[in-house]
Amino acid sequence: MIGRAGIKEILDYALSLKGGCELECSLVCENSALTRFAQGQVHQNVAEESASLAIRAISGKRAATAVATSLDRDIVSRTVRAAAENAARSPEASLAPLPGPQSYADVETYDAATGECGPSERVAKARLMIDAVEAKGIEAYGSVETQAVETAVANSSGLFAYAPSSSCSAVISTIKSGAYGYAEAASRKMGDINFGALGSEAAERCENAKDAQSIPAGRYDVILLEYAVADIMQFLCSTGFGATAYREARSFMTGMIGQKVMGGNITIWDDGLDPSGMPVLFDMEGVPKRRLELITGGTARGIAYNVSEGFKAGVASTGHAFPSGTFQPGPVPINVFLEAGRATLDDMISATETGLLVTRFHYTRAVDPKRVVITGMTRDGTFLVKNGRIAHSVRNLRFTESYVEAMSRVDMISARTKALGGRSGACVVPVLKIRQFNFTGVTEF
Amino acid sequence: MKDFARAAVSRAQASGASYADCRVIERLSQDIVAKNGELDRLATGRDYGWGVRVLVAGGWGFASTFRFDPSSLESTVKKACDIARATASLRKRPVKLAPAPVVMASWTTPIVKDPFLVDDSVKVGTVLEATRAMMQPKVRTASAMMSFLKETKTLATSEGSLIEQVIYESSASIQAFAMDGREVQRRTYPNSIFGDVRTEGYEHIEKTDIAGAAPRIASEAVELLSVPQCPAGTTTIILDPTQLALQLHESGGHPMELDRVLGHEADFAGTSFLTLDRLGTFRYGSDSVNVVADATLTGGRGTFAYDDDGIPGQRTQLVKQGILVGYMSSRETAGELGWESSGANRADGWGRIPIVRMTNVCLEPGEWTLEDLIADTDDGLYLHTNKSWSIDDRRLNFQFGTEVGHVIKNGKIVGKVRNPVYTGITYKFWGGCDAVCNRDDWHVYGFPCGKATPGQNGHVGHGTSHARFRNVVVGVRA
């Protein structure tokens, strides 16, 4: 860790080189490490120390960016110069003013035990998952990742933001005789994750998934575990809740603010400060995180903005900017919550005459981004529910379904939620029971 | 770079590594994006760092950093060795590497015009002109982009290899979104996924001529708003080379990566239906299907002289007359089976470990021309330019959508349909391939490729021409 003072010194130096330009500087310094295993043995074990400096230079109505992966003063200086030269060569455009100084919430985002975790400890955590799986005679595949990240933003208008953060994520996949299982977890604190329990969850799912039978494609009621629901949230965010897609009329939210777009039992919001997710204090323009209502009782309420999209729309940034100079679809919510309900998973199964219990989705892609029509496969444990009980495992199916329209057909929502994601954000989601999900194909396993 | 890489390797050997390699990489990049007649982004980048990979007690360790001072060299090598020892504590058998030649070499992508020496005003002017040429009624968003990369990479190994490579990449592309009420239609050129990235210089941008193609692409996007939906059914399809390239990537390239076959990707990307017991006997496709991985093709995005194991770039037969005959491999994955590496081990920059990546995975050309192929088709669809893609984790059940569907009746194109989607099972689909167009129609398209944790972006190419497939399910809808 470089620390607040060291990071500020680097960014102050960059700002001192501004010449005739205004500057916006972001710096992300990261120590990441990942231990990965296959068939119960470690096959990849890596550590990466990186620094990503992005300088956006604004000269009157001209702006451009330069990025570098170094903290050397010489490179910082060259990067500022490159950004200024790029700006000078850019055509004029209508530019938003830089945000001034901000104040930030006091939310804990760094856990030293996680950020400083060494390879022996990561292997020990992997072993906890592997042992729980191999004890059942099942093959274990997965990973344990830890990160320590320092994020800072500074600009010529006096803004300075700095926050350290840590994260840990664990994934466990299980395979036995053509049956598959899965579990994952993520937290700012490694101590929050019960690795042995994750292994047991994935092993149990794999045991239950044996002897999968093929069933025909068609519409089925589905119970989607949190892993699958997180995929729905991610697509709603990336295709629908961002201001760029909204402005360009590529979003299902375009023109629908204040109108019903989902079922009345659906409430979705973004909150970078909620510690039950993966808290983040500010975005990459230094704008503080705050709660943003997206869908309330099925009604479209809000959109995520960065500074430039807010300027175009005449509203304030909601704190959803990504680093400048990177290929992004524009501002997107990354700390998303779907309101829990009251049901248990057993309630949902009991209430299902004929349906499917789906562990997670795989390789999902947008067929029609505006309607959020997504195709993808089920993976790692799909089960037929018959007369209120799990009947047997089934071979994986392909679905082609509008996630927006599916969110108008939610019958039951679990009380339990799970936080899923990575270091920069998370979805906190419950289990959902949805009517008549559209399955359009089957595979051979 | 050379001295630093050698020093890191020596330090690793002194720390107990039985094998070590070090890659020092500098990446210079430039991205230019314009939207609706205005410049959206002009960004340049310099990414410079190094990574050291070690084998200690039969386990891998890897550490990387952007710091080059002596103490960082010492601490980073120590970190890699400590990681390797932790790995070894949870290994059931030691890593065994396939043999590699000792190589002292340097190689540079042959280019005509260095894209980093072309005046930025020319590039900016071209992307602006392209977007302006697409602006017409119902075109809501017209965007254009150019990207350039120059990667300078030095590899030193403890076996004595020292290899320097300079690889250039260039691409330009355009995209038009047309809208009419709730309907949104998109057309792109020359390919939908970041254009057609090639290991060429600015001459590739001039040949691509995005500004010249812009009016046609915009008009086609608008036209798609008013054509009928693709009907559902089972029919004959002809795929254009860009769509066939992605079809080959997903259902051919990935399942033929040996790391997937051995389970190294089981927790993330998945495994493969092309298991080892199927090598040499499994009918992957029809007799018309011949697939190679070829790292030696001029201009391919998967073209290089040596992979990150120091193995020479080479041509490997994967499918011969429809039968699976090979895999893409690394020294580690090939060594596990007592084979020789096919030279396909590559990392995404200095910060990540090399893994098995596609090179240029190509469907070998056949004898047909597109004109003859259409004339020979009584009833079917000619599908053009990818719009969506998905495949299961063993690479069997796939579904693709394309931007355009041309309707073929009695050997002639008679109209268009929108939102065409087709689906199938990989080996049955390739088994229905009854015609592949000739070399005049054949081109190597460049693609990105996501794989592994931590995530890595691969640089791959696919050589394809038009091809025809029988009995394909089309018209899948939500």
* Residues of chain B neighbouring A398 (CB-CB closer than 8 A): 390, 392, 397, 399, 423
Residue in B77, B225, B267 to test binding to A, most A beta-carbons within 10 Å: B267
Q: Are A68 and B401 an interchain contact pair (Cβ–Cβ within 8 Å)?
A: no
Q: Are B124 and A441 an interchain contact pair (Cβ–Cβ within 8 Å)?
A: no
Q: Are B478 and A402 an interchain contact pair (Cβ–Cβ within 8 Å)?
A: yes
Residue of B nearest to A82 (CA): B44
Instruction: Look at residue A422 and tell me whether its pLDDT is greater than 90.
Output: no
Mean pLDDT of A311-325: 90
Q: Which residue has the tokens 């856990």?
A: A111
Q: Are A345 and A211 in contact (CB under 8 A)?
A: no
Q: How far is A256 from chain B (nearest CA, A)?
A: 12
Q: What is the pLDDT of residue A325?
A: 59
Blockwise average pLDDT, block size 10, chain B, 478 residues? 97 98 97 92 93 98 98 98 98 97 98 97 96 96 97 98 98 96 93 91 98 98 97 98 98 98 97 98 98 98 98 98 98 98 98 98 98 98 97 98 98 98 98 98 97 96 98 95
Q: Are A89 and B42 an interchain contact pair (Cβ–Cβ within 8 Å)?
A: yes
Mean pLDDT (chain A) is 96
What is the number of other CB atoms lying within 10 angstroms of the CB of residue A13?
15
Phi then psi for residue B370, to 5 deg, are -60, -40
| Among A33-42, A139-148, A263-272, A329-338, the least confident range | A329-338
Q: What is the pLDDT of residue A34?
A: 98
**A49 reaches B (C-beta below 8 A):** yes
Burial class (CB within 10 angstroms; exposed 0-12, middle 13-18, buried 19+) of A372: buried
Rounded to 5°, angle at Cα B335 from B332 and B340: 105
**A34 reaches B (C-beta below 8 A):** yes
Q: What is the pLDDT of residue B190?
A: 97
* Residues of chain B neighbouring A118 (CB-CB closer than 8 A): 82, 86
Closest C-alpha among B47, B269, B18 to residue B153: B47
Q: Are A400 and B179 an interchain contact pair (Cβ–Cβ within 8 Å)?
A: no
List the domains of chain A with CATH numbers.
4-198 (3.30.2290.10), 212-445 (no CATH)
Q: Are B43 and A324 an interchain contact pair (Cβ–Cβ within 8 Å)?
A: yes
Amino acid in the structure at residue B12: A
Q: Are A327 and B352 an interchain contact pair (Cβ–Cβ within 8 Å)?
A: no
Q: Which sequence spans correspond to the domains of chain B?
A: 2-224, 233-474
Q: How far is A406 from chain B (nearest CA, A)?
A: 10
* Residues of chain B neighbouring A91 (CB-CB closer than 8 A): 38-39, 124, 128
Residue B125 in tokens: 């002017």
Residue A406 in tokens: 């599916």
* Residues of chain A neighbouring B23 (CB-CB closer than 8 A): none
Instruction: Enter the pTM of the model.
Output: 0.97
Q: What is the pLDDT of residue A327?
A: 62
Q: Are B390 and A375 an interchain contact pair (Cβ–Cβ within 8 Å)?
A: yes
> In the structure, what pLDDT confidence band is assigned to residue A177 with cuts at 50, 70 and 90?
very high
Q: Are A401 and A236 in contact (CB under 8 A)?
A: no
DSSP A4: H
Q: What is the pLDDT of residues B123-177, one digit of tens each?
A: 999 999 999 999 999 999 999 999 999 999 999 999 999 999 999 999 999 999 9
- For A402, the 3-state DSSP assignment is strand
CA B111 – CA B439 distance, rounded (Å): 23
CATH 3.30.2290.10 fits B2-224, yes or no: yes
Q: What is the pLDDT of residue B195?
A: 83
What 3 state SS string does chain B have?
CHHHHHHHHHHHHHCCCCEEEEEEEEEEEEEEEEECCEEEEEEEEEEEEEEEEEEECCEEEEEEECCCCHHHHHHHHHHHHHHHHHHHCCCCCCCCCCCCCCCEEEEECCCCCCHHHCCHHHHHHHHHHHHHHHCCCCEEEEEEEEEEEEEEEEEEECCCCEEEEEEEEEEEEEEEEEEECCEEEEEEECCCCCCCCECCCHHHHHHHCHHHHHHHHHHHHHHHCCCCECCCEEEEEEECHHHHHHHHHHHHHHHHEHHHHCCCCCCCCCCCCCCHHHCCCCECCCCCCCEEEECCCCCCCCCCCECCCCCECCEEEEEECCEECCCECCHHHHHHCCCCCCCCEECCCCCCCCEECCCEEEECCCCECHHHHHHCCCEEEEEEEEEEEEECCCCCEEEEEEEEEEEEECCEEEEEEECCEEEEEHHHHHHCEEEEECHHHCEEEEEEEEECCCCEEEEEEEEECCEEEEEEEECCCC
Looking at chain B, the whole-number percentage of residues with pLDDT higher than 90 is 97
Residue of B nearest to A404 (CA): B478
| Among A42-46, A122-126, A419-423, B91-95, the least confident range | A419-423
Q: What is the pLDDT of residue A326?
A: 57
What is the number of other CB atoms lying within 10 angstroms of the CB of residue B375?
12
Q: What is the pLDDT of residues A182-224, one digit of tens each?
A: 999 999 999 999 999 999 999 999 999 999 999 999 999 999 9
Q: Are B392 and A143 an interchain contact pair (Cβ–Cβ within 8 Å)?
A: no
> In the structure, what pLDDT confidence band is assigned to residue A423 with cuts at 50, 70 and 90?
low
| Nearest by CB: B46 against A68, A93, A118 | A68
Q: What is the pLDDT of residue A236?
A: 97
Q: Are B353 and A69 an interchain contact pair (Cβ–Cβ within 8 Å)?
A: no
CA A220 – CA A335 distance, rounded (Å): 30
**A45 reaches B (C-beta below 8 A):** yes
Residue in A367, A380, A398, A438 to test binding to B, most B beta-carbons within 10 Å: A367
- For A438, the 3-state DSSP assignment is strand
> In the structure, what pLDDT confidence band is assigned to residue A328 with cuts at 50, 70 and 90?
low
Q: Are A45 and B92 an interchain contact pair (Cβ–Cβ within 8 Å)?
A: no
* Residues of chain B neighbouring A46 (CB-CB closer than 8 A): 61-64, 83, 352-353, 454
**A209 reaches B (C-beta below 8 A):** no
